[in-house]
Amino acid sequence: MNNGKLMGKTVVVTGAAQGIGKAYAERLASEGAQIILVDLKPEPLAEAVEDLRAKGLSAEGKVLDVSNEQDVKRFAQELGQQHPKIHGLINNAAIFSTIKLKPFWEIDASEWDRVMAVNIKGPWMLVGALLPYLRAAGSASVVNIGSDAVWMGKAGYMHYVASKAAVYGMTHAMARELGGDDIRVNTLSPGFTETNVPRETFTQAQLNGIMSAQSLKRVANTDDIVGVASFLISDDSRWLTGQTLHTTGGLLFR
């Protein structure tokens, strides 16, 4: 798909080496955007960039620990020198798949802090660091990735749920503060989406339970989600800010 609606836009996607993050990057690149793929893991990141380039798409990779303040500042400064105008940012990087389910009273404080550092402090720092270049674009869009686990009160990973709950509040506050700069800030809130990670961590019985609770009786794949991200980055959503779009197949009605 290349309708060119993102032509001329430079977009940063974090957590982009694999899974749905890579799918966001590929979809936006296929619509003409120049994509900066960001990830903590150099080797999968290089493979993702190579894969997109092999498809004729514009992509480059940057290694970054979004939870490290100095690393974020370095990244933003270097990126701004290369790309003085940033038109979009998808804050997708998060700790989830490596979390081992346990009651909240058994969560170690260091694990709690690490999840919060990546899932909520990271997006906050990155938007702030990239703000001069988002402003320079004249009009820009930030997409924070939430999770509908928040609304279901999923047991076993309360630190993840709490971190994603904070994302919604952050989106609202950012949207208020950045509206004067014509920077839109919205949340994309996926439900269960099949990528290479969830298939390894969910049993068929669990998948059947998810599907039975949804209005649409199948498991979502990345193609079901990435078009919504494209909409939020594109000028088609130019009058939308401070909102949450739930891509859950009718699991929740909000």
**Which residues are identified as catalytic?**
160
∠ CA 28-33-37 to the nearest 5 degrees? 70
Beta bridge partners of 189: 246
Helix and strand tally (H, E) in the chain? 10, 9
Token code pair at residue 166: 């904070």
CA pair distance 126, 93, nearest whole angstrom: 11
Q: Which of 65, 53, 169, 160 is nearest to 112 (CA)?
A: 160
Q: How many other C-beta atoms are found inside a 10 Å radius of the C-beta of residue 4?
A: 10
H or E stretch including 149? helix 149-152
Q: Which of 97, 83, 90 is nearest to 66 (CA)?
A: 90
Q: How many other C-beta atoms are found inside a 10 Å radius of the C-beta of residue 11?
A: 27
Beta bridge partners of 38: 14, 62
Token code pair at residue 179: 């509206």
Q: How many other C-beta atoms are found inside a 10 Å radius of the C-beta of residue 193?
A: 21
